[in-house]
Amino acid sequence: MTVERIVRTVAETSLEVREGLAGRRGYEDEENPSGEKQLAADLWADELFEERLLDIESVAAYASEERSGVVEAERTSNGDGRYHVAVDPLDGSSNLRTNNAMGVLLGVYDSPLPARGRDLVASAYVLFGPLTTMVVAVDGSVTEYVLERDGKSVEMRTVTEELTLPDEPTVYGFGGRVPDWPAGFENYAREIETELKLRYGGAMIADVNQVLTYGGVFAYPGLESRPEGKLRLQFEGNPVAHIVETAGGRSSDGERSLLDVTPERIHQRVPVHVGNTRLIDRLEATLGN
Ligand code: AHG
Ligand code: MN
Ligand code: MN
Ligand code: MN
């Protein structure tokens, strides 16, 4: 019930965020802890999620890609404080400039952050495309909703229950510049690009949503210049791994499930590979593991 409340709060707040993006497309002077320039929209969305999520009694702490520390809830009474939420307030926020897909990512952990992916009790993303959809993994199943305003409230209309990856994969999307890919990953990519169609849009959740819909593989691999890759374990890697694995697929950092990666720092990066099981098995074999 309380996890549902967290998911519903993120659904409602995400619609509010979506509706307020137009006037917040410019960059601020600040950088986030990953060294990325922050848009007005990144900072504003982060503050809204912080306020709304810490208002829920079962939420013990809030962390996001856009702030350095974990914010503990201040409670005077009856908060059981079980859940530690990690949010990417806008995933793919650079797409705001070009008006391409982007959205919100949520991980609900039942241990203090940084936490292992195995400690996720729920994960979700909200995708701002032509429609606003939300994909939620909880209690061993994945559900896709369409979010719509209904007067003052937000309706979460179920469109797909028990979502699973299709058996015959057709799409792939790989981040990073090709000359920066390690040889093992480049060999894998050379094979995959002869078999599947490229779908890459610069917002992980949008690209992963294509993989969930059509089957395939998304990766932001470790790079020569940055072996840990670009994406962040707590806010990005773990939640999508949890969703894809719950939908019957696999995730990997190159050697093991992302859910088994030991978290050391809140903003720690990790190579991300998610998709159909046999495509991720093949990746690990090609990388030599
Ligand atoms: P964010 O906007 O939260 O910083 O995340 C951007 C991430 C991810 O969504 C996407 O897969 C990747 O960065 C795109 O990076 P490139 O621009 O290097 O392709
Ligand atoms: Mn960012
Ligand atoms: Mn992101
Ligand atoms: Mn972000």
Q: What is the pLDDT along the chain (289 residues), one digit of tens a residue?
A: 799 999 999 999 999 999 999 999 999 999 999 999 999 999 999 999 999 999 999 999 999 999 999 999 987 555 578 999 999 999 999 999 999 999 999 999 999 999 999 999 999 999 999 999 999 999 999 999 999 999 889 999 999 999 999 999 999 999 999 999 999 999 999 999 999 999 999 999 999 999 999 999 999 999 999 999 999 999 999 999 999 999 999 999 999 999 999 999 999 999 999 999 999 999 999 998 6
Which ligand 1 atom is nearest residue 206's CA? 9
Cβ(145)–Cβ(11) under 8 Å?
Answer: yes
Is 88 known as a binding-site position?
Answer: yes
Residues 215 and 150 in one domain: no
Domain boundary among 136, 160, 184: 160
d(CA 102, CA 25): 13
pTM of the predicted model as reported, rounded to 2 decimal places = 0.97
Q: Which domain holds residue 208?
A: 171-288
In sequence order, the β-bridge partners of residue 138 are 122, 141
| Cα(240) to centroid(ligand 4), Å | 14
For residue 234, the ligand closest to its alpha carbon is 3
Residues 151 and 242 in one domain: no
114: preceding bond cis by omega (within 30 degrees): yes
pLDDT confidence of residue 74: 86
Residues 155 and 15 in one domain: yes
- According to DSSP, residue 70 is labeled P
pLDDT confidence of residue 79: 59
Q: What tokens were used for 44?
A: 């504003």
Q: Report if residue 165 sits inside a domain.
A: no
pLDDT confidence of residue 289: 66
Q: What tokens were used for 4?
A: 């549902």
Distance of CA 27 to the CA centre of its chain: 22
Q: Report if residue 166 sits inside a domain.
A: no
Q: Which residues contact 112 (CB under 8 A, 6 or more apart)?
A: 60, 61, 70, 84
Q: Report if residue 191 sits inside a domain.
A: yes
pLDDT confidence of residue 76: 58
pLDDT confidence of residue 152: 86
Furthest-apart CA pair in the chain: how many Å? 59
Can you give the CATH number for the domain in which 236 is found? 3.40.190.80
Residues in the chain: 289
Total domains in the chain come to: 2
**Pocket-testing residue among 91, 174, 177, ligand 1, by greatest number of atoms within 8 A of Cβ:** 91
Q: Which residues contact 106 (CB under 8 A, 6 or more apart)?
A: 6, 7, 10, 85, 86, 87, 122, 123, 124, 125, 239
The helix (H) or strand (E) run that includes residue 147 is strand 141-150
Residues 6 and 149 in one domain: yes
Residues 37 and 144 in one domain: yes
Cβ(44)–Cβ(26) under 8 Å?
Answer: no
Domain boundary among 135, 160, 185: 160
Q: What tokens were used for 277?
A: 């099981």
44 in contact with ligand 1, CB cutoff 6 A: no
- For ligand 1, atom 11, name the residue with the nearest CA: 204
Q: Report if residue 114 sits inside a domain.
A: yes
Domain boundary among 130, 160, 190: 160
Q: Report if residue 110 sits inside a domain.
A: yes
pLDDT confidence of residue 132: 98
Is 252 known as a binding-site position?
Answer: no
Q: Which residue's structure tokens are 């949890």?
A: 242
| Cα(191) to centroid(ligand 2), Å | 30
Exposure string (b/e) for 25-47, b if CB count within 10 Å is 16 or more? eeeeeeebeeeeebbbbbbbbbe
33 in contact with ligand 1, CB cutoff 6 A: no
Which ligand 1 atom is nearest residue 36's CA? 4
Residues 104 and 187 in one domain: no
| Cα(249) to centroid(ligand 3), Å | 21
Region of residue 248 (left: phi > 0; alpha: psi -120 to 50; beta: else): left
